[in-house]
């Protein structure tokens, strides 16, 4: 995966599509698309489509968003595309209040999602609950065998 594809030239049509999708991401993030400003669009990952698999691109954008309270805040956005038969299909997008949250999006994009662990407290409660239900069911079966109706 390339760290940055800033040296690659993209067609005007692709850049317009990314800019339009960035505006839609602003709306979903509850920012005013008319008052907000996108300062920079950049493709940070460009995996071309091959005969065996689809390609994908990850774009970042930076700017200033104006929220419902007319506050101007710094925003950091990400847009993920799947390249299918030469077309850009939007997979996911997001607008984040800081760069570290956007980097977490990039981490998941790369396929390094957090792995589940059995040490999580909810898993312990699940196992205990299943053990209790199993014990009650086995007691019921034993009692119906000992005292048939």
Q: In total, how many domains does the chain have? A: 2
The pLDDT, as a whole number, for residue 99 is: 86
pLDDT at 130 over 80: yes
Residue 3 lies in a domain: no
Mapping DSSP onto H, E and C, the string for the chain reads CCCCCCCCCCCHHHHHHHHHHHHHHHHHCCCCCCCCEEEEEEEEEEECCCCCCCEEEEEEEEEEEECCCCCEEEEEEEEEEEEECCEEEEEEEEEECCHHHHHHHHHHHCCCCCCCCCCCHHHHHHHHHHHHHHHHHHHHHHHHHHCCC
> Stretch 122-142: mean pLDDT, rounded?
92
The pLDDT, as a whole number, for residue 123 is: 82
78 shares a domain with 137: no
Q: Which two tokens stand for residue 85?
A: 């038969």
pLDDT above 70 covers a percentage of the chain that reads 88
pLDDT at 110 over 80: no
Buried b (16+ CB within 10 A) or exposed e, 69-95: eeeeeebbbbbbbbbeeeebeeeebeb
The total number of residues written for the chain in this structure: 149
Residue 5 lies in a domain: no
Q: Is the pTM of this model over 0.75?
A: no
Residue with tokens 């940070």: 44
Instruction: Give the integer Cα–Cα distance in Å for 76 and 79.
Output: 11
The pLDDT, as a whole number, for residue 1 is: 33
Q: Give pLDDT tens digits for 52-109.
A: 888 889 999 999 999 888 899 999 999 999 888 888 888 889 899 888 888 887 777 6
132 shares a domain with 106: no
Residue 50 lies in a domain: yes
């Amino acid at each position: 995966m390339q760290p940055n594809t800033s040296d690659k030239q993209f067609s005007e049509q692709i850049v317009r599509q990314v800019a339009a999708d960035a505006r839609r991401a602003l709306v979903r993030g509850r920012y005013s698309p008319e008052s907000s400003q996108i300062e920079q669009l950049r493709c940070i990952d460009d995996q071309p489509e091959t005969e065996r698999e689809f390609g994908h691109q990850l774009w970042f954008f930076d700017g200033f968003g104006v929220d419902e309270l007319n506050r101007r805040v710094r925003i950091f956005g990400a847009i993920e595309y799947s390249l299918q038969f030469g077309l850009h299909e939007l997979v996911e997008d997001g607008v984040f209040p800081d760069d570290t949250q956007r980097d977490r999006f990039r981490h998941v994009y790369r396929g390094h999602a957090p792995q589940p662990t059995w040490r999580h407290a909810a898993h312990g409660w699940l196992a205990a609950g299943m053990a209790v239900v199993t014990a009650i069911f086995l007691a019921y079966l034993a009692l119906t065998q000992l005292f048939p109706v």
